[in-house]
Amino acid sequence: MTLGKIAHSLGIVRKKTLDAALAAQDELRAELAEAELKAAGQDLEKRSSLEAAFHTDALSGYMRFHQFNSVRDFAAFSNAARNGPRRKLEREISGAVVNNPNREVKLLGYCDVCEKVQPLIVNIQSNKCQDVTFREQAACWECRLSTRQRFLLAYTLRQCEEHGARIYAQEQVTDMYKALVKKRPAAVGSEYLGPGIEPGSLVDGIRHEDCMALSFQSESYDIVVSSDVLEHVASLEEALAELFRILAPGGKLIFTVPFRHSAEKTIRRAGFENGALVHYLEPVYHGNPVSGEGSLVFWDIGADIFDYLHSAGFSKVQIVCADSLVHGYYGAPLLFCADK
């Protein structure tokens, strides 16, 4: 299929109903991704054509989000897609990365943060890895946000338009926070800087907050966004209760966590007993932007996260998933949205 036909099909929102355009777009995604692989982000003429087509799609004001009211419904969607053409394409991309001497390939996609078509970098840092975890890949070369981060920010900003502008992010020194404040300058961010610091204190310009004892007044925010934080809190119940408290009625908690929908129960990996840290499983650490030691994982989040959220008081909980090659959302990234 020629690029002209791709551009025409992606831009037919002007002539047909939006649903018809999206159906046509679905049929083109595999071919589009093949063209992306061949171009590898270097063909400026092709990039210009796609820029116009993707921009038309973005300006339609519509983003296809799959929303699920239960883990069972999400699992059915995920299992059905496992052997579909998009997952097959991702396996091919993963193989291309592994076999590339530089352990890297470039794709193209419309970055919602930068609001233009960008090269998306997919790589593997360790020679021991034999596949790609797309959740943390397809990073935009300009804003440097991964698939998960770009999706989380795009969804959050869409909710800001509908539910209010008071937003608190559980990060402050990251690229994602920098991108957020460019769009929403009044957004408040924070980091956890360690024990013994008063919540709300500034340390070298960074606001310290403890997710289990936030300094904010009740009902202070319309939206709270949390990017892979909750698996690192010692008490998941206390953290969710605090996030519920600071949200205004009708507010939303939008968050990502490493999530295994096949696991029925959330597993506690570590905790405190009589003030002492106890490991129930072998310690696991994730990267921490303010500490080279990393952040200890306290929880492996399972399907009962819905129960934790409802117990904290949230009235409605959804899993939201994006699966769009046009927007560079490889790996069908997901987030949770909980309404107060």
Nearest to 29 by CA among 103, 107, 96, 134: 107
Question: Domain map of the chain by residue range?
Answer: 3-63+85-145, 149-339
DSSP string, 45-62: HHHHHHHHHHHHHHHTT-
Q: Can you tell me whether residue 98 is helix, strand or coil?
A: helix
Q: Which of 324, 164, 312 is nearest to 336 (CA)?
A: 312
Distance CA 16, CA 267 (A): 49
Q: Are strands 188-189 and 167-169 parallel, antiparallel or unpaired?
A: parallel
Q: How far apart are CA 147 and CA 134, in angstroms?
A: 7
* pLDDT, tens digit only, all 340 positions of the chain: 333 443 343 333 333 433 443 444 444 444 454 444 454 443 444 444 444 545 554 454 445 678 999 999 999 988 887 877 777 778 888 888 888 777 888 887 778 888 887 888 888 765 566 677 888 888 999 999 999 999 999 999 988 876 667 999 999 999 999 999 999 999 999 999 988 899 999 999 999 999 999 999 999 999 999 999 999 999 999 999 999 999 999 999 999 999 998 899 999 999 999 889 999 999 999 877 666 677 899 999 999 999 999 999 999 999 999 877 778 888 889 999 999 9
Sign of the C-alpha dihedral, residues 16, 119, 97, 320?
Answer: negative
Residue 56, CA distances (Å) to 25, 26, 240, 330 in order: 12, 16, 39, 21
What topology is assigned to 149-339 in CATH? Rossmann fold (3.40.50)
pTM: 0.81
